Amino acid sequence: MMVEDYGAPFSARSLEDSHTTCLSALFCSFSLFILIAWFELRHIYITRFSSDQIRTSDRKIIKQGIGILFRRLD
């Protein structure tokens, strides 16, 4: 069965394709955001929180917070 195009600005196929493209772009953007956030947190942790100036209990709390954050993402 053939469907005729009556000059509609958007066909069902183009809407479906744009929806898929939009979801792909959102997923890629979110993945990139997570990757950048991971490296930034890692950099901050290495440069600031691995020094002896911060107490051991503070380091433990920070590690637990980062662990909880990434467990929720899985």
Domain range summary for the chain, segments of one domain joined by +? 14-73
Rounded-to-integer distance, Cα 46 and Cα 49, Å: 6
pLDDT score at 58: 67
Amino acid identity, residue 26? L
Contacts of 34 (CB under 8 A, 6+ apart): 73
What mean pLDDT do residues 6-17 have? Answer: 59
Q: Are 5 and 11 in contact (CB under 8 A)?
A: yes
Task: Give the C-alpha distances (Å, rounded to integers) separating 32 from 26, 68, 72.
Answer: 10, 20, 17
Q: Write down the pTM of the prediction.
A: 0.43
pLDDT band with cut points at 50, 70 and 90 for residue 64: confident
Number of Cα atoms under 13 Å in the Cβ half of residue 53: 4
Predicted pLDDT at 1: 45
Percent residues over pLDDT 70 in the chain = 54
On the question of pLDDT at 49 being above 80, the answer is: no
